[in-house]
Amino acid sequence: MLSDIGAGCALGLYRLAGRISQPAIRAHLRRRARRGREDPARLAERFGRSDRARPPGPLVWLHGASVGEALSSLPLIERLLADRPGLNLLLTTGTVTSAALMAERLPSGVIHQYAPLDLGPAVEAFLEHWRPNLGLIIESELWPNLLTAAHRRGIELMLLNGRMSNKSYRSWRRLRPLSQRLLGLFSQVLAQSPQDQERLRALGARDPLYLGNLKFAAPALSADPAELAALRDALGTRPCWLAASTHPGEEQIIARVHARLAGKHPGLVTLIAPRHPDRGPEIESALAAEGQEIALRSRGRTIGPETAIYLADTIGELGLWYRLAEVVFVGRSLVSKGGQNPLEPARLNSAILIGPNSANFTHIVEAMKRAGAIAEVGDGDALADAVERLLRDGDTRAAMSQAAKHYAEAEAEVLEAVLGALAPSLDRLTGSG
């Protein structure tokens, strides 16, 4: 009873804050659109409105926050299309980068929309228009208005690849009555690691299961063969390494690592693929004082004889850079941001380095360290030492890359397990079983 009262009060305050702040939120979205962080032509979708018609028949709605969640959903989407031809599929995400990537990667017939803001009117408009029969929420998107409105409409909800980082867990523990109510709306909770399973249980999920991590089911990132050949020709025999998915504060560290190593490795090329490609000009300005020759791919530049740092500031080409560089640093981990997915380079024969801040992927990173598939570096100096060692030592580089590839293939059966868990609900929708 006390838990219900506490959860009700928290929801009431959350909804009141949302109503009061709507004008500020609209202004914030317009500012983000001017900076390229929102799509001006599709802002209506953020308020639940769409110019796309809902297709007839059962509709399964999948929702993930950004690129990582969307990519992890692709193998599931492809299997649902193949195994359940009567289903319509809708994927929602919240970022411009994920929308651009999904425009290239989503199978034909799957609809992408921007997720509605978690405001009452936006959520109601979205659910009224799309009327999903089943909602598959990926990882950690526990939006109170969205989940409670969907449940109120009788939409079955499942949490797939559920994740709860240290920071999120501490926050939700202080709001356990609310977390218990929200997690209780899911008919099934599938965690992506045993640690996430226990955290979700502690926060109120009923009988969460660990069947594996859907990120293991994702195929290797693709690359255009002609572009890859052209880049290899431009690079020639010059040594190179890649800093992937970098965030603000990391690019300057990478540039200093390059300066330290350039004298030891003549012709060294450092590739930087920022997590948010629209930051390319900003990164170029920040690195201008370092004195190295910088080229931006977004401006049509390629790797020339004088290029020292090549900014791969384009969307959907990360598979190119993982194939081009045998030594890869996975960013968002030298700054306190939680890291990025190391399985992507692991599938493409990379010797992988990562910083100490990888809380979003703790289970994977720790297991990869035990397998000799990844090395952790504490700071820029340690990164320089590790890159230097791997550029020189081909045997160590090969051993790490082989261990990483083996680890990435270790849970290939996870997709079948997840599909098995979804089967009863999907059978009810399609009239099979």
Task: Find the catalytic residue in 38, 69, 156, 284.
Answer: 69
Q: How many CB atoms lie within 10 A of CB 71?
A: 22
Q: How far is residue 139's CA from residue 159's CA, in Å, rounded to a whole number? A: 7
d(CA 280, CA 272): 10
- Which 3 state secondary structure label does DSSP give 372? coil
Burial 337-351, CB ≥16 within 10 A → b, else e: bbbbbbbbbbbbbbb
8 A C-beta contact, residue 368 and residue 384: no
Instruction: Output the six-digit token pair for 288.
Output: 């201008």
Helical pair 2-20 and 120-130, crossing angle rounded to 10 deg? 100
- The CA distance from 128 to 429, in Å, is 19
Contact criterion met (CB below 8 Å) for 315 and 100: yes
User: How many angstroms separate the first and last alpha carbons of the chain?
Assistant: 39
Is residue 94 within 8 A of residue 65, CB to CB? The reply is yes
Q: How are beta strands 88-93 and 59-63 bridged, if at all? A: parallel
DSSP letters, 238-267, are --EEEEEEE-TTHHHHHHHHHHHHHTTSTT
CA quadruple 330, 331, 336, 340: dihedral sign: negative
| Nearby residues of 67 by Cβ (< 8 Å), 6 or more positions away | 93, 95, 97, 98, 101
CA distance 188 to 185: 9
Q: Is 204 helix (H, G, I), strand (E, B) or coil?
A: coil
Which three-class secondary structure state does DSSP give residue 328? strand
Residue 373 tokens, joined:
């598939």
CB 320 within 8 A of CB 299: no
Q: Tokens 């651009």 belong to which residue?
A: 100
CA distance to 9, 44, 70, 347, 368, per residue, from 400 (Å): 52, 47, 28, 12, 10
With contact defined as beta carbons under 8 Å apart, do 120 and 18 qualify?
yes
Give the type of residue at 205: A
Specify whether 306 is catalytic: no
Active site residues: 69
